[in-house]
């Protein structure tokens, strides 16, 4: 599996699946979630509402992942995952690790070969970027899947540095 980190906007990535740092409601939010919904179009919110009506009446639990189509995105699928929110006392690294491994499992199940991740929990949910990077890289390296390429798409030079530092570790 090839791992890389780039500076950019996840909504423009030409990969099979992009991961969304969603919230449990799946009904939209700010940050990367808002950007993905804006770029994918209103069909994405409709698909999320349908998931809530059917499979996930109580919302998506922290650390879990679920797929929808990507609609107007270049990516064929969006994998929604819910990161732990430090401001709500969700400080267990296993929850954040699970976001990455479960998202890869879901992508693999769909037959995706390339996946782009944002820095889940590294924004409003308050995790330090070096911690997000360490947990993300470790989780993805430990996952055994048919995914060929994982791209971390970072929104600032500092977060790119944090991910590059982890990727450079042997
Ligand atoms: P969370 O609530 O899980 O912390 P946020 O969306 O607040 O999620 O932030 C996660 C990370 O995504 C932050 O580092 C933020 O700067 C970054 N981000 C925001 N918009 C985009 C985008 N369009 N593409 C990639 N990363 C983004």
- The per-residue pLDDT for range 29-52, each reduced to its tens digit, is 999 999 999 999 999 999 999 999
**Residue 15 reports pLDDT greater than 80:** yes
- Please report the pLDDT score of residue 109 as a whole number: 97
Full-model pTM = 0.98
In the three-class reduction of DSSP (H, G, I as helix; E, B as strand; rest coil), residue 115 is classed as strand
Is the complex ipTM higher than 0.95?
A: yes
- List CB contacts of 46: < 8 A, sequence separation 6 or more: none
pLDDT tens, residue by residue, 124-148: 999 999 999 999 999 999 987 899 9
What average pLDDT does the segment 86-112 reach?
98
Q: What is the Cα–Cα distance from 168 to 104, expressed in whole angstroms?
A: 21
Determine the CATH number of domain 2-168: 3.40.220.10
Mutate to test the pocket of ligand 1, among 84, 88, 122, 162 (most ligand atoms within 8 A of CB): 122
Which is it for the CA torsion 7, 78, 132, 32, positive or negative? positive
Q: Identify which of 97, 93, 87, 104 has the alpha carbon closest to the alpha carbon of residue 144.
A: 104
CA of 117 to the centre of ligand 1 (A): 10
Tell me if 90 CB under 6 Å of ligand 1.
no
């Amino acid at each position: 599996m090839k791992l890389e980190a780039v500076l950019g906007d996840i909504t423009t990535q030409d990969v099979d699946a992009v991961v969304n740092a969603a919230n449990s409601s799946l009904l939209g939010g700010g940050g990367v979630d808002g950007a993905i919904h804006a770029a994918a179009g209103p069909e994405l919110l409709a698909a999320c509402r349908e998931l809530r009506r059917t499979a996930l009446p109580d919302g998506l639990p922290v650390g879990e992942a679920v797929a929808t189509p990507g609609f107007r995105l270049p990516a064929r699928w969006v994998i929604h995952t819910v990161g732990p929110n430090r401001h709500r006392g969700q400080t267990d690294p296993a929850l954040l690790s699970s976001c990455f491994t479960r998202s890869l499992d879901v992508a693999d199940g769909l037959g995706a070969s390339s996946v782009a991740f944002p820095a889940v929990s590294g924004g409003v949910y308050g995790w330090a970027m070096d911690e997000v990077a360490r947990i993300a890289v470790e989780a993805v390296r430990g996952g055994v899947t048919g995914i060929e390429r994982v791209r971390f798409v970072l929104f600032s030079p500092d977060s790119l540095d944090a991910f590059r530092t982890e990727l450079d570790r042997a």
